[in-house]
A and B are shown apart, each in its own frame.
Chain A
Amino acid sequence: MTSAASTETIVRARRRVNGIAPIIGLGLVGLLVVWLAVNFEKAPALFVKALLIGITNGSVYALVALGYTLVYGILELINFAHGDVFMLGGMMSATLMLSVFHIGSGESALSLWPALLASLAISMVFCGILNASIEKVAYRPLRRAPRVAPLITAIAMSFILQNVAIAWKGPNYISLPINILPHGVVFSIGRNTYTWDALIVVLLTAPVLVALVWLVQYTKQGKAMRATAQDREAAAMMGIDVNRTISFTFLIAGGLAGAAGLIYSVYFTSIRFDQGFQLGLFAFTAAVLGGIGNLPGAVLGALFIGLTQSFNNTLGWHAPGSDWTQSIVFSILILILVFRPEGILGERTPEGG
């Protein structure tokens, strides 16, 4: 279906973009490095603190970004509802922790951990099933439709889930006690302390990532996922149950959102119906930044977004400040999509296709 004329125009267009992109990119990176260096020199303690905050927040984004990237990898669909699945997971865990397990602040480890793990499991299963059902209801019937169709149903699902949350929990923030996770000091640098709750967040993300990479790279199911992502028809001919594989992918992505939801609600301790969408967009930015479809890339991208946010909000020397965080993150998204849609980690299509 390719024709010489159009290929040529497009190749020319791409080449032109590729010509400017590295220069602008390098310029921006250079400015960024200078800015960071000056800020570090001016206030090292502040810088370190911002770094630690950024890594922790980035870890939460990473869990959500992984879900985006998994789904995009297999269906090439931006699942706008993913952020809202995550939000419902957060509300579910908050309800479990508060009303079912009656966890307050400063619980002993003996009562905390079983409740935490049980909530984690329930939230993951809940979100996994929710996400897979969304796929079945809203995306599967539209696989043959023009591409905008599933995007529109994704937006629709996102609004529906937000309203489910409003109906369930009302339009206000729901709040958890502040000290559910232990707040003991792990280490301190100068006046800055790093506490256990932040470490737990980071420590939860790492194994999830490893497990996920293992699942995608080394298991039979993972192989099926990669095959489906590359060529749905050929995969079907090879005897792979494509529908089951896609459902499984949504299940896994939803499970990740559920885990993120639990961590969010116990670590950040405040959640509202519309926070999923916003965080989802940030996580999507992270996924795009790392090269959408690329699992380690999503984590790196998420850390980058987390750091951008905390540096911008915290540092004193020529930082635009928290008024502009949202604009900065979305500017990154637009710049990356325009100049380097394959993301920083390079691969042109998911799974090296």
Chain B
Amino acid sequence: MKKRIRFGIPLAVIVGAALVVVGVATATSSRSHSASVLPTSSCAKLQYGGSGSPQYIIPSDLPLQGSSRTQTVEMTKAIAYTFKQAGYKAGKYTVGYQSCDDSTAQAGKWDPAKCAANVGNYVRDKSVIGVIGTFNSGCVELEIPIANRASLGYASPANTYDGLTQVQPGVTSAGEPGKYYPTGKRNYVRVVAADINQGTADAILLKQKKITSVYILNDKEAYGLGVANDMRNGSKANGLKIAGFAAWDPKAASYQDLATKIQSSGAKAVYLGGLECENGGKLIKDLRAGLGASFLMEAPDGFSSFKDTVAHAGDASAGMIISIAGQPFAKLGKSGKAFAAAFGKSIGLKAKDVNPYSNYAATAALTMLKAVANSDGTRASVTANLFKTSFADSPIGAFKLNKNGDTNAAPISFYTIKGGQAVFTTLINPAKK
């Protein structure tokens, strides 16, 4: 008993309807082709103040979810502010800004798949002329090899890992930095000094304080381990003894045992290579309790959010030394102070409360705008011009980039926590030594 197969009218109606709708859709969707903005799944709306749509887009690539959120969101505002100040113009070209996110909620920080997705979008979108980013070295390591093949240039405000641009024995691994540039031509510059400067300056300071041996801790994250390795190199170069090198587990309940170990190692100082948000407050408290009130603790700019450090560690943070790449606010040049004041005002902050990384973000944006202005409008030309960057004054002071894409200005400022406040003490420039 064979059943009759009836495709008849219903199918015809459905197919007809489909054709009509597709026709309508193609007609309407062709409108969106004029502006090639980056997709909303990872990028915010295009910010552009001129008429019509800009010739080029410059995205920023930062992790906007998770623990660094406060800092990175302020950085995007600083970049947007810089674009607005420039009238969305770079020389004769008009440029728009889009803020892209390289983090996922699931990871709570930068995510490899997201970074790879972003760089794919940049490379494909012909109106992207250069990229400002990233925040995390791990993320940029994925992005620059892909961007490299497309001659797309990056200007980073915050990556400090040495291996991105230079060789540092004991810190960088085999093949670095060449492996990030498969075409052999560099396409990455950074306005922030590499960690080796900080590690060296931190060691020099300890030497100045007549410390003979130091115990180096790290948080087993890419940044923390990198800067701890740099500190180890710097200490060796300055004749300090390394009493020990160990990791702290951010999820541990207490660090009394670590304090005991450090005490028994005979170290005269301890270095906390890592981030404050990895339970740094508790670490400081336990080290202070176990090592005594006068024991010297030093930390790199992973602890630069003084407010958090003091709030989480309380009195235990007293006497702690924290180093930050760059000039202190008081020593900033004219444009640095002007930027902090004007930008701070635009987002409702006092000039001295503006996060230092906002200055870096603005400087990276200026670097990129300048490179675009001097270019012939191709990516390769922008990239080449990035390496010619030189500023007599910028939100982070005067600096010049070398052929590796590293800055020549590497002043490290040191702060001491006194009475719940961070007090600027000294400035060390390891590059000048």
Task: Please list the residues of chain A having a beta carbon within 8 angstroms of any beta carbon in chain B.
Answer: 43, 45-46, 49-50, 53, 57, 60, 105, 171-173, 175, 177-178, 264, 268-270, 272, 274-275, 278-279, 309-310, 313-314, 316, 321-323, 325-326
Contacts and interface: CB of A to CB of B under 8 A. Distances in A.
Contacts of B315: 105, 177-178
Contacts of B253: 57, 60, 264, 268, 275, 279
Interface stretch (B158-166, B278-286, B397-405): B278-286
A178 to B, nearest CB: 5
B247 interface: yes
A172 B288 CA distance: 21
Given A171-B108, A175-B313, A268 B282 contact: yes
A316 B261 CA distance: 8
B113 interface: no
A171 B277 CA distance: 10
Contacts of A316: 261, 264-265
Q: Which 5 A-B pairs have the closest CB atoms?
A: A270-B282, A313-B257, A175-B312, A314-B257, A278-B251
Contacts of B277: 172-173
Given A173-B312, A275-B251, A178 B289 contact: yes
A291 to B, nearest CB: 24
25 contacts: A46-B264, A50-B260, A53-B254, A172-B277, A172-B308, A173-B281, A175-B285, A175-B311, A177-B315, A178-B315, A264-B253, A268-B253, A268-B254, A270-B281, A270-B285, A272-B279, A274-B251, A275-B253, A279-B253, A310-B256, A310-B257, A322-B252, A322-B257, A322-B258, A323-B247
Nearest to B257: A313
Contact of B281 (A175, A275, A322): A175
A282 to B, nearest CB: 9
Interface residues of B, number: 33
A326 B108 CA distance: 21
Nearest to B281: A175
Contact of B67 (A49, A171, A269, A323): A171
B246 interface: yes
Interface in B302-361: 308, 311-316
Interface in B153-187: none
Q: Which of B281, B311, B316 counts the most A-chain CB atoms under 10 A from its CB?
A: B281
A49 B260 contact: yes
Interface of B: 66-67, 108, 220, 246-249, 251-254, 256-258, 260-261, 264-265, 277, 279, 281-282, 285, 288-289, 308, 311-316
Contact of B260 (A46, A105, A175): A46
B314 A105 contact: yes
Contacts of A270: 279, 281-282, 285, 312
Given A269-B285, A270-B279, A323-B220, A313 B251 contact: no
Contacts of A310: 256-257
Contacts of A46: 260-261, 264
Contacts of A323: 220, 246-247, 249
Classify the secondary structure of A's interface with B.
helix
Given A53-B256, A173-B279, A316-B264, A321 B314 contact: no
Contacts of B248: 322
Nearest to B280: A173
B229 to A, nearest CB: 14
Contacts of A172: 67, 277, 308
Contacts of B312: 173, 175, 270
Given A175-B314, A178-B289, A269-B285, A326 B254 contact: no
A173 B285 CA distance: 13
A49 B257 CA distance: 8
Contacts of A105: 314-315
Contacts of A314: 257-258, 260-261
B264 A322 contact: no
Nearest to A104: B314
Given A173-B282, A268-B282, A270-B279, A53 B249 contact: no
B319 to A, nearest CB: 15
A177 B316 CA distance: 9
A331 to B, nearest CB: 16
A316 B249 CA distance: 18
Contacts of B220: 323
A323 B253 CA distance: 14
A283 to B, nearest CB: 11
A274 B253 CA distance: 11
A306 to B, nearest CB: 10
A269 B257 contact: no
A93 B108 CA distance: 27
